[in-house]
Chains A and B, each alone.
Chain A
Amino acid sequence: MSSPERARDFGFGADEEMLRDVATRLLDEHLPVEKLRRLVASDPEAAYERGERPPWDEGLWKRMVELGWPALAVPPEHGGHGFKLAGIAALMEQVGRHAVPSPFVASSNATLVLREAEGACASAWLSRIADGLATSLAITDAEGSWEPDDCGVTARETPEGLVLSGAAHFVQDAFKVDAFTTTARCGDALRLCVVPRDAAGLELHQDHIHDLTRDQATLRFHEVRVPARDVVDADAAAILRRAWPGLLVVVAADLCGSSEWQLQATVRYAQERVQFERPIGFFQAVKHPLVDAMVAIDRGRALVYAAAAAIDAGADDALRLARMAKSAASDAGAFVSDRSVQLHGGVGFTWEFDVHLFFKRSLHNQALYGDGVHQRRKLADLLIGPLAGGPAAESRGE
């Protein structure tokens, strides 16, 4: 066990603070909530009845690239900044707080996976990411399993590389990225490769989803040829397991950010809305749940930074803390989402008010990489020991 004094400040220093503050200013200026609503929620029929491609602000993404955000998680030897996850988590909080439609979250997660891989393929793609290329993970099967081994894509090995068939599901922001970081089953092994979005034989089917701030797709691979230079020469399951704590932290941080927006918006409403001659925040039936939401959010945030610091330090409890963070952030997200609609009353139930934008992003995030129940099932194996007669538990180390 690592000693409790380590990284007292979670490694959150002046650089991290500056990055976060620049991000906050940029997003406050370029994506205030009124603008977000106009961008993604102008017409419910376009989103839901006609299932049109979810709109997003590509110009804002270009600004994020200019500011070097995609390069943050890329190690310096591949042209990136090798920034601490503690700083990236703070950025993700702001991204969640503004519910930014962009490939940034998805691509950061793919980056965290690729940086756990070694060799020429990972190096080449990490360099491209540092230059602004976006990639998303295609690692999930039709059932939405979060076990690395449950993979709907199979690979055939040829002298030139791999040939992929099958399908990857629940691929995040697929229509905003340039390439997919894909796992494929190849005999007994799980392989990792990167497939450009325009690869021959790759078909993208847009999923019809609730979250207006994202897109999602099913990828169908029809004998897609992946040259050897785009295939990682290592066990993909081990790579995913090493990267997993980071993915959980990124999504949990986004959740904490959107939860904080929901809390503050609902507090403002409770200060302004008058019933029975008093602002409704006077009533303890309104006040106390808002306090409980705050407590839940802060638990999630504290665990997010603890997990980020553990990952940055290479500590052996990173996975435990990251699963706790995702569980706490998911449950906080569920609770504050629920209260944000209820306490806004009738207007919270309308399309016109903003709360539904964050409600849906939160619901989506709660499920990604495993909700609270999923995390706690895994944590029980770590803390209490594997369930008698249950499947083998993941180990503490990887």
Chain B
Amino acid sequence: MTVDTPSREAQEFREYVRRWLAENRPPAPPVRLPITPIEVMSDAQRDYLQDWQRRCYEAGLVGADIPTAYGGGGHTGFQRIANQEMGRAAVPFLINLVGLSMAVPTLLVHGSEEQKCRFIPGALRGDEIWCQGFSEPGAGSDMANQQTLAVRDGDDWVVNGHKVWTSLGHFAKWMILLARTSRHHKYDGLSYFVCPIEGHPGVTVRPLIKLTGERGFNEVLFEDVRIPDALRLGEVGQGWKVAMTTLTYERGAGEGAGGGGGARPIDPLIRLARESRRDGVRAADDPVTRDAIVRLAIVAEGLGQAARLARVPALNPVPMRIPLQQKLVSSELAQQVARLGVEIAGARSSLYKLDPAAPDAGHWPLAYMNSFGATIAAGANEIQRNILGERVLGLAKSK
């Protein structure tokens, strides 16, 4: 039987990553870590996670596929391996989520040589944390309705406006910023910038508190903020196009060029079902619960296999059909997994994470509530369904 053997280098890299992770598992964090980078609140958490990302980067587990000129490993197809192994080893996540999965891929496509050399290494090392400035109070699902204004003044742009839902904004050195440079055209009146955040005159970052009571995201106010024109990505008026590149990666279609992601979501659910008793019976022995778990296991396996299918051109007459589904499917899967965990935990799901009797340190109800971040962000899933219905199936546009 023929098997497409992975290249020997890929196999060796996998073994290397596995060994490195086994030998370099970080010490227990000084403070409890949240589930994703979006909930990182304290400086202690940030320091711990930045240190971990730096070590992963230095070991070659981050930026593996990025050209060496920009501080990467210069390989092809290695990052997926590193991501898989980090997921499997259940090590802490990489804190620079926006940097790795949005800023770096966008810079690689649209950045000048100078911009790539300046920004990519720091994003990979995690020394410079990034945030995203797309959403505004009046520009959510209708993202092109940007009101933040950038006005040219000599070699600078002067920015005034208001961005919201800015994850990691309180730690960020840089923001990928979408702003209006012309009032005459909705889509063609946008431009894309890299904007300094930390300590930059005119920038105010204020925490927003989520429904869980956690911080982690922010609103960012711009009052006469000056950005040099050298920090513009792409041409003036081409910001929508650049933003689409970012969104393609944010929505998972580009498969995280930098690093991050990729655990097996069903295993913790099965563990929970084995140790939870409902009405005197192990939840793992309840046929209805078993069916519900397996349903999600099939979706999880299907998600990974669909990504694999999307890379076989002969089986994809419509190339973007599967990539455009990935954000929708993965965010709803995470929500359903968390929701099922809440159901399996039963009465114990009422316990907050600081209650010592809370199963899995209170993970399930918090994960469920936080899961709405992903089903709403990066284009609410209702918008994703419009995009798929219109661009892939060719149905009449809803707008």
Q: How far is the CB of B75 from chain A (nearest CB, A)?
A: 14
B67 at interface by CB-CB < 8 Å: no
Given A267-B395, A282-B397, A298-B322, do A10 and B298 touch, yes or no (CB 8 Å)?
Answer: no
Secondary structure type dominating chain B contacts: helix
Q: Would A3 and B294 be within 8 Å (CB), given that A284-B386, A299-B306, A377-B287 are in contact?
A: no
B305 near A305 (CB under 8 angstroms)?
yes
Q: Which of A10, A290, A324 contacts B308 (CB 8 A)?
A: A10
Contacts of B287 in A (CB 8 A): 377, 380, 387
Q: Which of B290-317 contact A (CB under 8 A)?
A: 290-291, 293-295, 297-299, 301-303, 305-306, 308-309, 311-312, 314-315
- Docked Cα-Cα span, A312 to B273, in Å, equals 34
Contact A295 B395, beta carbon cutoff 8 Å: no
Q: If the complex has contacts A302-B309, A303-B305, A327-B298, are A7 and B395 also in contact, measured as CB distance less than 8 A?
A: no
For B1, list chain A residues within 8 Å (CB). 312-314
**A11–B2 touching, CB < 8 Å:** yes
The verdict on B173 contacting chain A, using a C-beta distance below 8 Å, is no
A349-366 interface with B by 8 A CB criterion = none
Q: Is A287 an interface residue (CB 8 A)?
A: yes
CB neighbours (8 Å) of B396 from chain A are 271, 278-279, 281-282
A287-318 vs B, CB cutoff 8 Å, 1 = contact: the mask equals 11011101100111111011000001110000
Is the beta-carbon distance between A9 and B4 smaller than 8 angstroms? yes
Contact with A along B263-301 (1 / 0, CB 8 A): 000100010011000000010110100110111011101
Question: What is the distance, in angstroms, from B315's C-beta to the closest C-beta of chain A?
Answer: 6
Main secondary structure of the interface of A (DSSP, over half): helix
Distance A299 CA – B298 CA, assembled complex (angstroms)? 9
Complex alpha-carbon distance, A292 and B395, angstroms: 14
Q: Shortest Cβ distance from B275 into chain A, in angstroms?
A: 12
Instruction: Tell me which of B5-13, B144-152, B157-165, B335-343 binds A.
Output: B5-13
Nearest CB in chain B to that of A376: its residue = B294
Assembly CA distance A306 to B303 (angstroms): 12
Residues of chain A contacted by B325 (CB below 8 angstroms): 294-295, 298
- On whether the beta carbons of A324 and B311 are closer than 8 Å, the reply is no
Decide: A313 and B385 in contact? CB cutoff 8 A: no
Q: Evaluate contact between A384 and B273: CB separation under 8 angstroms.
A: yes
Q: What CA separation (Å) do A197 and B382 show in the bound complex?
A: 55
Chain A residues 324 to 348 lying within 8 A of chain B, measured CB to CB, are 324, 327-328
Q: Does A383 contact B (CB under 8 A)?
A: yes
**Interface residue A391 (Cβ < 8 Å from any Cβ of B):** no
For B266, give its contact among A302, A321, A383 (CB under 8 Å).
A383
* Distance A373 CA – B133 CA, assembled complex (angstroms): 45
In the complex, chain A residues 126-140 whose Cβ is within 8 Å of any chain B Cβ = none
Q: A265-286 vs B: 1/0 string, CB under 8 Å?
A: 0010011000000110110101
Total chain A interface residues with beta-carbon distance under 8 A = 56
Cα A313 to Cα B311 with chains together (Å): 19
A 180-238 contacts with B by CB, 8 A: none
Q: Is the CB of B4 within 8 A of A301?
A: no
Q: Which of B282, B315, B398 has the most CB of A within 10 A?
A: B315
Q: When the two chains form their complex, are residues B398 and A8 in contact, meaning their CB atoms are under 8 A apart? A: no
A93–B308 Cα gap in the complex (Å)? 18
User: Chain A contacts of B5 at CB under 8 A?
Assistant: 5-6
Query: What's the Cα separation between A3 and B5 when bound, in Å?
Result: 9
Asked if A114 is at the interface (CB within 8 A of a chain B CB), the reply is no
A279, B396: Cα distance in complex, Å: 7
A6 touches B3 (CB 8 A): yes
Residue ranges of A at the interface with B (Cβ–Cβ < 8 Å): 3-12, 16-17, 20, 90, 267, 270-271, 278-279, 281-282, 284, 286-288, 290-292, 294-295, 298-303, 305-306, 312-314, 321, 324, 327-328, 373, 376-377, 379-380, 383-385, 387-389
